[in-house]
Structure 1
Amino acid sequence: MATEPGDADVEAYVAAVEHPVRRRDAQRLLDLMGRISDERPRMWGSSIVGFGQYHYRYPSGREGDGPTASFSPRKAAITVYLPDGVGPHADELARLGAHTTGKGCLYLKDLDAVDLRVLEGIVRSSYETVTDGVFGSRAEG
């Protein structure tokens, strides 16, 4: 992640999300990720809501900081970022419901179309992997 956490108002950002389903789902993710992380949300750049912070180092030597749990209410879907990638969550993703994935991203068009307990388990597992110190290096991407 190429940015640092800022002091922008997360609640105002979420309230300003135009798409009503994305706005509703962003509020739900604020609650879910807040429960998992026991951290207050912070804006990372202009569009990512993050909880906590971790340091990463790629095998190439590139390093930086990122939020341990985060999401972004994009126009097409909400993006949930999984710092440990989607691979470790394959079994859970098969039970999640309607979604698509990228290398380290989970795209959700409507949280009503997914099993929220499964989603919470995925986010919790990713968060714990990163915060338990067993995360180590990750593939550069």
Structure 2
Amino acid sequence: MYEQKTKETDDSVVEFIEAIESKKKKEDAYRLLDIFTEETGYEAKMWGPSIIGFGSYHYIYKTGHEGDAPLVGFSPRKAKISLYFATGDQERETLLKDFGKHTSGKSCVYINKVDDIDIDILKKLIHQSVAFLKKLYPASE
């Protein structure tokens, strides 16, 4: 049976951020923590060893695979900062056009530093992702 790797933990978000070696990445992590907390209204929680997530939803795929995930989140990784937003909504792609310097993967948006992006667009992406997932998975929370 499949066991989900990335689960919510009781680890300290502040301790995780304080352990970041790069001063600039640490500053960016605190800045993102403030923005995500303010925009979502959720308390930050650690998901797995390195993702800071906000809120949660329960998903069930057509294959029967199911699990829990944060509505939005970020991870200040060594190379880049990963931002986690919902996929599958065209509004995300539209917002990303004016987001600033970034690259996109299947489920992540990668940035080098917060100064490279438009904070107002970040806030819109957070709201869009939360609204999209709550509509897609209404039983969540």
TM-score range, shorter chain: 0.7 to 0.9
Tell me whether 17-26 or 85-94 shows the greater mean CA deviation. Answer: 85-94
Q: 1:8 aligns with which of 11, 23, 28?
A: 11
Gaps of 5+ in 2: none
Give how far 1:28 is off.
1.1
1:49 maps onto 2:52 in alignment: yes
8 Å contact from structure 2 (residues 40, 126) kept in 1? no
Q: 1:81 aligns with which of 67, 80, 84?
A: 84
* Structure 1 residues 58-73: aligned runs within 5 Å: 58-73=61-76
Give how far 1:113 is off.
1.1
Give how far 1:95 is off.
0.6
TM-score between the two structures when normalised by the length of structure 1: 0.88
What is aligned with 2:107? 104
Gaps of 5+ in 1: 137-141
Give how far 1:9 is off.
0.9
8 Å contact from structure 1 (residues 10, 49) kept in 2? yes
8 Å contact from structure 1 (residues 85, 103) kept in 2? no
Q: Distance in 1 between matches of 2:87 and 2:94?
A: 15
What is aligned with 1:35? 38
8 Å contact from structure 1 (residues 84, 130) kept in 2? no
The number of residues matched between the two structures is 134
Cα deviation code 1:56-102 (max 9, x no counterpart):
11121100000111111111111011133575312211111100001
What is aligned with 1:139? none
Q: Distance in 1 between matches of 2:121 and 2:66?
A: 31
8 Å contact from structure 1 (residues 86, 101) kept in 2? no
8 Å contact from structure 2 (residues 101, 111) kept in 1? yes
State the AA in 1 paired with 2:136. Answer: F
Q: 2:21 aligns with which of 7, 18, 23?
A: 18
TM-score between the two structures when normalised by the length of structure 2: 0.88
8 Å contact from structure 1 (residues 85, 104) kept in 2? no
Q: 1:17 to 1:87 in 2, by over 3 A?
A: farther
